[in-house]
Amino acid sequence: MMTNTANAPLVIGIDIGTSGARAVAMDLGFNIVASGSSKLVDFSDDHRDPIVWWKAVQTAFFQVLEAIDRPQVRAIAIDGTSGTMLPVSADGAPLAVPMMYNDPVDDVDILARIASHAPKESAAHGATSGLAKVLTFQSIPDIFRILHQADWLAGHFTGLYSVSDENNALKTGYDPVSRSWPEWIGRTGAGMDVLPDVLPAGAPIAGISVAAAEAFGLPISTIIVAGTTDGCASFLATGADQPGDAVSALGTTLTVKMLSDRPLFAPEYGLYSHRFGDMWLAGGASNTGGVVLSAHFGNDRIAALSTEIDPSTDTGLDYYPLTRDGERFPVNDPAMKPRMSPRPESDAEFLKAIFEGIAGVEAIAYQRLGSLGSPALRSVRTVGGGAQNAVWTAIRNRKIPVPFLPVVSEEAAAGTARLALIGAKSAGVL
């Protein structure tokens, strides 16, 4: 795809996710002018192989480069899966099989040390935390740094394998308020010298290396910008950019995120804040969502039944739709029971009650953020499969009476490209 005009400055955002890589070129008006994609399985079934990550990134990246004038490129930024980490040598060579975002550390001593020293509001708690992986990897011989996935990939463009961003570093114990690695990390036994240097998301890291510029045919003036996590990038892609702007993800589960003018930390709800300049991205995930719908109806049946629903009226049923016991946000109750009775005789009425129930949880979630100190809810954008159902949207908007705004993009790479624009302006190349 190519729609850009000649000589217009461009930036490129790259997203590496759980199944593949995507890249987009964006102009100064936030328009996507070229895109590319690739799947990890096209190169190997081993999604833990970092060489496979790099091949997927290169493939998507070259697709974009072939659709634009390469001298137009001013900056590049990369996002990766949060909590995916690997130990490297000084030249970036992986020294062990990476641990993915959902790989747990089962060493009880490591987990106990973190639990003993990490403040309760730290995101470093838990078996899948970045810090647990640091403690697992750090004794490998000849280790230089332990990097997050996005850090390592960015290093291929800069030649520097020692830099991270504030968002990826959060689960590794980084303190985004003081903007530093806190001293308690050392008390866990972690070597502070193997932790990367951390820059704000969107800050320039360095110019592109001579080797990368030649390999990709890019100007040596191209700036590489500190990226973010894939989840944060997906939020930024929507166009939400003011305190009180929120994004609801209606996928398998319900996730809500909001930009705040202050950090929010509530570990009892699994709630942490990622920093973007002077703003903070806070959010939580419920166990309700599309998983409940799919337990009762297929997609075609949902579409058909939705035509029979009047979204302007209420069933009067007070559902809290879950498929199993337990909730984490906006209610923290591991023993919470699903509430989905009585069941109406009409399937359309039952579906409507589920829609209302999930919308009610969504409304409580935003109220919970407010009670924890967030700004007033200003707007909601919606991503995920549920965003396509107009009846459900109308029910949600009735329970959450703020503007429901269109999403600019659902491409995480577009959110990362927005960071590249920030970095390019900061570096003076735009």
Q: How confident is the model at residue 397 (pLDDT cuts 50, 70, 90)?
A: very high
Report which of 400, 395, 415, 414 is spatially closest to residue 370, judged by C-alpha positions.
400
What local confidence, expressed as pLDDT, does residue 2 receive?
Answer: 46
Element (H, E) at 232: helix 230-237
Tell me the CB-side half-sphere exposure of residue 51, using CA atoms within 13 A: 9
For residues 358 and 321, is the Cβ–Cβ distance under 8 A?
yes
**Mean pLDDT of all residues in 240-263:** 96
Please report, as a single letter, which amino acid is at residue 391.
V
Interval 338-366: pLDDT, tens: 999 999 999 999 999 999 999 999 999 99
The values of phi and psi at residue 261, to 5°, are -90, 5
Each residue's pLDDT tens digit, 274-309: 999 999 999 999 999 999 999 999 999 999 999 999
C-alpha distances in Å from residue 148, one per residue of 15, 234, 279, 303, 356: 14, 18, 23, 41, 40
pLDDT at 308: 98
Residue 342: how many CA atoms within 13 Å on its side-chain side?
Answer: 5
Partnered with residue 401 across adjacent β-strands are none
Per-residue pLDDT tens for 134-173? 999 999 999 999 999 999 999 999 999 999 999 999 999 9
Joined tokens for residue 268: 């009892």
CA 320 to mean position of chain CA atoms? 26
DSSP state for residue 102 in the 8-state scheme: T
pLDDT in tens, 76-109: 999 999 999 999 999 999 999 999 999 999 999 9
Residue 196, preceding peptide bond in cis (omega within 30° of 0): no
Kindly give the pairing relationship between strand 10-16 and strand 20-26. antiparallel
DSSP 353-391: HHHHHHHHHHHHHHHHHHHTTPPPP-EEEEESGGGG-HH
Q: Which tokens belong to 336?
A: 């919470």
Average pLDDT in the 12-24 region? Answer: 96
Q: Kindly state the percentage of the chain with pLDDT values over 70.
A: 99
Cα separation, 108 vs 127, in Å, equals: 9
- Sheet holding 245-250: strands in order across? 272-276, 279-285, 254-260, 245-250, 379-383, 404-405
| Residue 7, pLDDT score | 79
Over residues 405-424, the mean pLDDT reads: 97
Tokens of 91: 């030249």
Beta bridge partners of 79: 15, 228
Q: Is the pLDDT of residue 15 over 80?
A: yes
pLDDT mean across residues, the chain: 96
What does DSSP assign to residue 163?
Answer: E
**What's the pLDDT score for residue 14?**
98
pLDDT > 90? residue 5: no
What integer is the mean pLDDT of 52-67? 98
Backbone angles phi, psi at 21, to 5 degrees: -125, 145
247-273 mean pLDDT: 95
Reported as a single tens digit per residue, the pLDDT across 221-246 is 999 999 999 999 999 999 999 999 99
pLDDT band at 6 (very low <50, low <70, confident <90, very high): low
Q: Which domains does the chain have, with CATH numbers?
A: 10-232+412-426 (3.30.420.40), 242-405 (3.30.420.40)
Question: Quick check: 4 pLDDT over 50?
Answer: no
* Count of CB atoms situated within 10 Å of the CB of 180: 10
Reading phi first (left if > 0) and then psi (alpha if -120 to 50, else beta), residue 47 is in: alpha
For residues 389-424, one letter each, b for 16 or more C-beta atoms within 10 angstroms of the residue's C-beta and e for the rest, the string is bebbbbbbbebbeeebbeebbbbbbbbbbbbbbbbb
**What is the C-alpha to C-alpha distance for residues 321 and 356, in angstroms, rounded to an integer?**
9
Tokens encoding 49: 């192989």
